Chains A and B, each alone.
Chain A
Amino acid sequence: MQMQSHIMDSASDSSGALPVLSLDGITKSFPGVVALSDVSLSLYPGQVTALVGENGAGKSTVVKIFTGIYQPDSGHDTSGSIRVDGEAMSFPTAQDAANAGITAIHQETVLFDELSVAENIFLGHAPRGRFGLIDWAEMAQRATELLNSIGADIDPGHKLRDLGIANKHLVAIARALSIDARVVIMDEPTAALSHKEIHELYDLVEKLKSQGKAILFISHKFDEIFRIADRFTVFRDGQLVGDGRIDEITESELVKMMVGRDVSQIFPQRRSSIGDKTLHVGGYNHPTEFADISFELSRGEILGFYGLVGAGRSEFMQALFGITAPSSGKVQIDGQSVAIHSPADAVANGIVYVPEDRGKQGAITALPIFQNVTLPSLGRTSKNNFLRLAEEFKLTREYTERLDLRAASLDTNVANLSGGNQQKVVIAKWLATQPKVIILDEPTKGIDIGSKAAVHEFMAELADQGLAVIMVSSEIPEILGMSDRVIVMREGRMVAELSGDELTPETLVRHAAGI
Chain B
Amino acid sequence: MTAIDQPSQNRNVPDRLQSTAAQRLKSWESLLLMVALAIFIANSFASPYFLNAWNLSDATFNFTEKAMIAFAMALLIISGEIDLSVASIIALASTAMGAAVQAGAGTPVLLLAGLGTGLLCGAFNGLLVTRMGLPSIVVTIGTMSLFRGISYIILGDQAYRGYPADFAFFGQGYVFWVISFEFVLFAILAVIYGVILHMTNFGRAVYAIGNNPTGALFSGIRVARVKFILFLLTGLMAGVAAICLTSRLGSTRPSIALGWELEVVTMVVLGGVNILGGSGTIPGVVIAAFVMGLVTFGLGLLNVPGIVMSIVIGALLIGVIALPRLWTMWKTR
List the interface of chain A (C-beta within 8 A of B).
32-35, 37, 56-58, 237-238, 321, 323, 342-344, 346-348, 353, 355, 360-367, 370-372, 375-376, 378-379, 382, 385-387, 393, 397, 400-401, 405-412, 416-421, 429, 433, 446, 448
Contact = CB atoms under 8 A, between A and B. Distances in A.
A448 B3 contact: yes
Given A361-B214, A408-B5, A417-B5, A375 B219 contact: yes
11 contacts: A32-B4, A32-B6, A37-B2, A365-B212, A375-B205, A386-B200, A397-B13, A408-B13, A410-B15, A417-B3, A446-B1
A24 to B, nearest CB: 20
B280 to A, nearest CB: 13
Interface string B4-34: 1111011101111100000000000000000
Label chain B's interface by main secondary structure: loop
Contact of A343 (B1, B204, B220, B279): B220
Nearest to B8: A406
Contacts of B218: 321, 323, 343, 353, 355, 361-362
Interface string B201-233: 111110110011011111111100000000000
B136 to A, nearest CB: 20
A425 B142 CA distance: 42
B4 A34 contact: yes
Given A343-B220, A411-B15, A238 B215 contact: no
A-B CB proximity, top 3 nearest: A418-B3, A347-B220, A376-B220
A386 B16 contact: no
Contacts of A407: 5, 10, 13
A408 B215 contact: no
Given A407-B13, A408-B13, A364 B216 contact: yes
A195 to B, nearest CB: 33
Contact of A364 (B5, B200, B201, B211): B211
Contact of A32 (B3, B15, B17, B217): B3
Interface string B113-149: 0000000000000000000000000000000000000
Interface of B: 1-7, 9-11, 13-17, 199-205, 207-208, 211-212, 214-222, 278-279
Nearest to B215: A364
Contact of A418 (B5, B222, B279): B5
Contacts of B203: 387
Contacts of A37: 2
A344 B3 CA distance: 33
A451 B15 CA distance: 22
A418 B207 contact: no
B2 A385 contact: no
Nearest to B200: A385
Residue of B199, B212, B218 ringed by the most chain A CB atoms within 10 A:
B218
Given A361-B215, A386-B199, A405 B1 contact: no
Contacts of B9: 406
A237 B204 contact: no
